[in-house]
Amino acid sequence: MEITDEEFEKATQRGLAKKAAYPAALSVRYDRRVSRIIIELASGIEIAFSPKHVEGLEHGHPADFANAEISPSGFGIHFPLLDADIYLPALLEGFLGSKRWMAAENGRLGGAKSSPAKKIASRENGKLGGRPRKKTLVAA
């Protein structure tokens, strides 16, 4: 596949716009004391997060985070022992995984929460004999 000069120029402009919008990563390390991955950005800000909340890193062990690599652009962080990557602009936008993974994670966390409304509904359902049975379709 051949890339035209026009396509190359458009890609260069997109890259420059991305660099202007997001600071690049300067360093990445895992702090065992607090169980957090810490990324230092070119803006001077450090961000820290638990790998348990990042798709692809959630099952990793502390030793798996030791050799993280920053891409030449500064926007990617690769964890070779897990074969997992983080895209920094997405991380900064608040997404630590794909939309599908984040939706499942949020649903799991939300389903585990107890609220007064859930307690009341559970008690009312219990008075009625519990959760209703699923209706089965009868073939004619």
Please tell me the predicted confidence (pLDDT) of residue 30: 95
Residue 69 inside a domain? The answer is yes
CATH code for position 60: 3.30.2020.40
Can you give the pTM of this predicted structure?
A: 0.60
Residue 136 inside a domain? The answer is no
Q: Which residues of the chain have pLDDT under 50?
A: none
Q: Which two tokens stand for residue 101?
A: 């993974």
Nearest to 18 by CA among 80, 69, 68, 93: 93
Asked whether the beta carbons of 76 and 87 are under 8 A apart, the reply is: yes
Domain count, the chain: 2
Please tell me the predicted confidence (pLDDT) of residue 27: 95
Q: Which two tokens stand for residue 92?
A: 């900064």
Considering the domain architecture, whether residues 115 and 52 belong to the same structural domain is answered as no
DSSP 72: T
Residues 6+ apart with CB under 8 A from 42: 23, 24, 25, 26, 74
